[in-house]
Structure 1
Amino acid sequence: MKKIIIENEQLESIILDESSITSIEWINEGVDIRMKIYWCGQESYSDKIDMRNIFTNLFFRGVNNVEINFAYTNDFSIGNIEITKFSFEKVDSRYFVHFTFDFQPQGYIKFQCDGMIFSIVESPRCP
């Protein structure tokens, strides 16, 4: 099983647009956030890992000042949240993170954190 870890500023090389958040979980006594991501992948990683069989997560350490705003404008229930834009800015030793969602739901998630990790794990193929 292969695993790729991308940390902090290196996340600038990851394209999350058109991927989606499938789960948001507060972990480590509510101090950190883990997001399970359905990642569309990108060509620059296709020679390193089998993109057809991956699990991807975003981890954020030391999260605070969380602001979540979703607006559902149709009758659909909550499901995956398609990421329109993911961005972050480092100020001193903190990261200001911003997700934008332009489809269903429409809205954003914003917060500050001490660090970020994007993990790509190749799962074993089924026989």
Structure 2
Amino acid sequence: MQQYLLSIYQPDGDPPPPDVLDPIMDDISALNAELKATGTWVFGAGLRPASTATVLRAKESEVLITDGPFTEGKEHLGGFTVIQAPDLDAALEWGRKLARALRWLSVEVRPLVDESERACDAPRG
């Protein structure tokens, strides 16, 4: 079965107040339980704010280290879930459920490179 990354993008800044966030978190917990019950869930995690990121970039023989996110933007990767699904249509249906649970946040669904594929053979965008 193919694995898919469901990436959650959220705006920079403080989280919404508890009266807004708590129902969303309840819906996410219910969705995660459903993913686990159906054997679809592989793993997932929330991420600390983008401001806590450290970027490493090789430049000649040195590795440069920079505080903060790789790119500046109004949104950042806030969390992710890896699922296994028989095909893209099934993965998109789980992505739809996640988008509904998150209300206004964006979800990106992307297939992972299969272990049998070599990284150099992976599609490039």
TM-score, structure 2 as length reference: 0.27
Identify the structure with the greater helix proportion: 2
Tell which has more relative contact order, 1 or 2 (C-alpha 8 A, sep 6+): 2
Could you say which structure has the larger radius of gyration? 2
